[in-house]
A and B are shown apart, each in its own frame.
Chain A
């Protein structure tokens, strides 16, 4: 058991394939899958028009709706002396009240690493 930084990691093909599909659909407005996948079918079960549906994180299971968005703090403007929170979210102490934004409610319990 040790800390070992991973090198030469490549993004998995499933992520690349899906994102390519979603981007193509966004551009074309087409709701059919633009590509033929290995093992794929022609029937489209998923409505991919526009963005993918907004999903809560895995612990936010109760109220799925459009309000469940990722955390976005105000104060994304680059101002000298900004403080970077993990996840590339910028918080400027003079500009942002980090508690003012509306965030999805998390389920408490255990160590909610990802799942929480």
Chain B
């Protein structure tokens, strides 16, 4: 099974939209090993995603987890996968060599040209120059690494420019999501500007397609791909099933935004998962009432319990922000898809089908 390990609740950065509260709590080795055992206890594959806080503050734990799980994989024959989401500031060659050996997938949390708008070191120093340097280092070891950008309202004017910048830096895959939660305040004018930026981004993606440059931009790419494959975007969210976060104390929750809410505690690494609570959670999951009659119900992410909870406090209730953004994104993605398909249907199929 898959687990997200919150190795620490500490972070060396202070981002304006981050909803996680920093504190100097780290995962103990005992919890770490128990979590690894739990990952191997069910299914034919064990997956760990190292997360935080900033996971690279606890490199020692990552090294230990890798060695332990690799040995366990060897013994059991169960495949082991690992990933990490990091702000990148503490990446170094020694770590990257080990990560390559472990076939770790790394997502660099990097907002591109908006980095210095929202993301600072603790103390207030800007981070863009450091992260750009680390991004180049990361790409030299892992050319397929992904950049993960989170766009807060104040970063919207830099959206299209950031996509271009990350491409030029060498990323072939970028993920752009908008920031949710109580630390951001979206307005209608922000969304109007976002639409303009998405249109500019769409033009840029078309330009790259014409030049036969393969570049995957998740916001558009996933909408097009899911539409072709008849995949329901909403399927991605399976609270308590797909991937459970593990807190430094070893507690298990359905998703990161639920951490700390004891009503959603699903067990811990010592006693295991409370299956009854997982089932109870599944029973409570439903399509948001406001979305039932919408034609886009299976194309949007209305049932992402994590986003819904961050926006409305209820995992089954979608927010006006998400609805507006999703409608906009689907419309623009479909328009881009039509254009790319007309330009070169075979390559379009290769990239998206």
Q: Find out whether the CB atom of A5 lies under 8 angstroms from the CB atom of B2.
A: no
Choose among B81, B337, B342 the residue that contacts A105 (Cβ–Cβ < 8 A). B81
B169 in the interface, Cβ–Cβ < 8 Å?
Answer: no
Question: In the complex the two chains form, is B219's CB within 8 Å of A115's CB?
Answer: yes
Residues of B whose CB lies within 8 Å of any CB of A are 1-2, 4, 42-45, 47-49, 51, 79, 81-83, 85, 103-107, 109, 144-146, 148, 150, 173, 175-177, 179-181, 186-188, 191, 216, 218-219, 221-238, 240-245, 256-257, 273, 275, 278-279, 282-283, 285-287, 290-291, 293-296, 301, 303-304, 306-307, 310, 318-324, 327, 334, 337-338, 340-350, 352-353
Cβ 8 A contact of A59, one of B107, B227, B278, B303: B107
A101 to B242, CA, bound (A): 9
Chain A residues with CB under 8 Å of B327's CB are 4, 6
Roughly how many angstroms separate A45 CA and B85 CA in the complex, as a whole number?
34
Interchain CB contact under 8 A, A13 and B282: no
User: Are B85 and A99 within 8 A (Cβ)?
Assistant: no
B345 touches A39 (CB 8 A): yes
Distance in angstroms from A98 CB to nearest chain B CB is: 4
Known: A63-B81, A70-B235, A115-B175. Contact between A5 and B294, CB under 8 A? yes
> Which B residues lie within 8 Å of A59 (CB)?
107, 146, 175, 218
- CB pair B228–A107 under 8 Å, yes or no, is no
Output the nearest chain A residue to B340 by Cβ-Cβ distance. Answer: A14
A44→B226 CA distance, assembly (Å): 23
* In contact, A108 and B51 (Cβ under 8 angstroms): yes
Cα separation A89 to B290 with both chains bound (whole Å)? 21
| A-B CB contact pairs (8 Å), 12 listed | A3-B318, A4-B324, A41-B344, A43-B346, A67-B45, A99-B244, A99-B273, A103-B243, A110-B177, A113-B177, A114-B236, A115-B175
Closest to B2 in A: A105
Q: How far is the CA of A71 from the CA of B111 in the complex (A)?
A: 30
A88 lies within 8 A of chain B by Cβ: yes
Q: Chain B residues with Cβ under 8 A from A24's Cβ? A: none
Q: Would you list the 6 A-B pairs with minimal beta carbon distance, nearest first?
A: A62-B105, A87-B235, A115-B218, A105-B47, A9-B295, A109-B85
Within the complex, what minimum Cβ distance (angstroms) separates B236 from chain A? 7
Complex Cα distance, B47 from A102, in Å, reads 9
B150 in contact with A87 (CB, 8 Å) = no
Residues on A with beta carbons closer than 8 Å to the beta carbon of B295: 5-9
How near does chain B come to A102, taking the closest CB pair, in angstroms?
Answer: 4
Are B45 and A97 interface neighbours, CB within 8 A?
Answer: no
| B296 contacts A9, C-beta separation under 8 Å | yes
If A14-B341, A62-B144, A115-B222 touch, does A85 touch B109 (CB 8 Å cutoff)? no
Q: Does A18 contact B (CB under 8 A)?
A: yes
Indicate if the CB atoms of B236 and A112 lie closer than 8 Å: yes
Say whether A79 faces chain B, with CB atoms less than 8 Å apart: no
Q: Is B321 within 8 A of A44, CB to CB?
A: no
Expressed in whole angstroms, the minimum distance between the Cβ of A39 and any Cβ of chain B is 6
Q: Which of B223, B273, B324, B353 contacts A52 (CB 8 A)?
A: B353
Partner of B307, one of A62, A102, A111: A111
The answer for the CA separation of A34 and B4 in the assembled complex, in Å, is 45
Nearest CB in chain B: distance from A75 CB, A: 11
**Complex contact A113–B238 (CB within 8 A):** no
Taking the closest CB of chain B, its distance from the CB of A31, in whole angstroms, is 11
CB distance from B148 to the nearest CB of A (A): 6
Contact B42 A109 (CB under 8 A): no
Q: Could you say which of B237, B321, B345 has the most chain A C-beta atoms within 10 Å of its C-beta?
A: B345
Contacts of A4 in B (CB 8 A): 323-324, 327
Interchain CA distance A13-B235 in the complex, whole Å: 23
Q: A17-39, CB under 8 A of B: which get 1 and which 0?
A: 11101100000000001000111
